[in-house]
A and B are shown apart, each in its own frame.
Chain A
Amino acid sequence: MLFLGIFVLPTLCLFLFFYPTITISLSSWGAAILRATTKTVVNIESVRFIPGLGEASFISIEGTTPTFTHSLVNAIISVFFILLSTQINRNNRPLMIYLSMGLFVHLVSSLFFLVIPDLFPYTIQDYSRLYILQQIGTWMTITVISGLATNLVLPTGGYKYAAFIVTVLFSFIFGCVRYVIYLYLLYRFTVLYMAALYFIFGVLYDFLGMIAIYAIFVRGASYRMSSNAGKGEWQW
């Protein structure tokens, strides 16, 4: 309970009550990089998030919609790779199924832009806004899940705290760098890729990182526990 009270809860509160400051800093930093890189107009806007707790800031950047040819090429390539993925690399079925799902999402996106491009409901600004809102939620959820899982399984001592701190830091840094990169990719290669970035390369990787860090620390804890005295072998 001490761990939850001293570490997890304050971290949660940090994200909850300081998200305006965090997002403005992140947006400022990201905007500076994008201005230098894209030579286009990059602004910072804000949106209401949690009532009473302030506004979240996000980067506003101009984007482009894909041309017909671009959408068609992407659709054809998606179909090709979906078919190919069913044939190759039988040793990595899960990865192939996962990538096939990604390709499927991308195919749907390509077909959408082929058929009804004007009805695509989002701009890059929309994506940017929703990304920030989701990322705040991700940081909070990672804090809670990591805190619970770490507290549950890891024994007392440095492992628990280290695992939690590294996980939160990982999620924070990853969320920030991904924000800038994804906005750049959407600016550079059009909003056609928005669905794939959201569904396939989105929040899943935050959790992958959390689980990976968790696994490392549990492994360390396991080594430590097995080195203790009293490893007697009783038959019953």
Chain B
Amino acid sequence: MENLTALSYELRKDVINMIRSGKAGHIGGDMSVIDTLVTLYFKQMNIGPENMDDPDRDRFVMSKGHSVEALYAVLAEKGFFPIEEVIDTFSKFGSKFIGHPNNKLPGIEMNSGSLGHGLPVCVGMALAGKMNHQNYRVYTVMGDGELAEGSVWEGAMSAAHYKLDNLCAVVDRNRLQISGNTEDVMHHDDLHERFRSFGWHVIDVKNGNSIEELDAAFEEAKTVKGKPTVLIANTVKGCGSSVMENKASWHHHVPGDEEYEQIMKDLEERKEAALK
């Protein structure tokens, strides 16, 4: 599909079907982060089933591993595995499609799920690239609630220390976490300043669900030398349908029949609008 915004809405349907089938999943974060994943996998990174053994491939680590359903939908679209298999088996007994990324699956580099691991792991990946004089880039996506993990800041500190300009992190700033508003749970409104003070180049992506804006930000990141870049992607949790948008209770809610019908209708409408 040429139109990536339309593709993003289409892939959201796969996510919804996955979650309905598996009766589980982190639906809100899937919907907020999927545009970042589509931009990375279809515009930015040189990753596909054909080159997963290429030492010069870009690297991606899904630090907010609970949004694995969105990653599955994107990887399936890239051809790593059939989407039907994911939807049929997700979260079911014996399935290889579990509720967090697992590197036994093609296309997934690192196991994640516990928060605060992706950025430090990516520091190692980016360091290896520098040591070997390779040109690949390293990407990770973190949740905003995840930023309360201390290990994130250990990673941030070392990424700047080692001047890892081949590393780009994204914060999926959807402002909600399982207990409610991020600012009530643990405030992060000064996170731009925090990253700057750690020596990072910070890009505020006003609409973090806009593939155009995300793509432009990733392009800017590539021009930054001597320091890592973080994109603060201001997203909408549950983005795609008013049924679930900006509702903390949809962190991991499984849509009922009526909700499902409405969400699928909304997604189709937004997809059609994007195609116009």
Is B truly associated with A? no
List chain A positions with a Cβ less than 8 A from chain B.
none
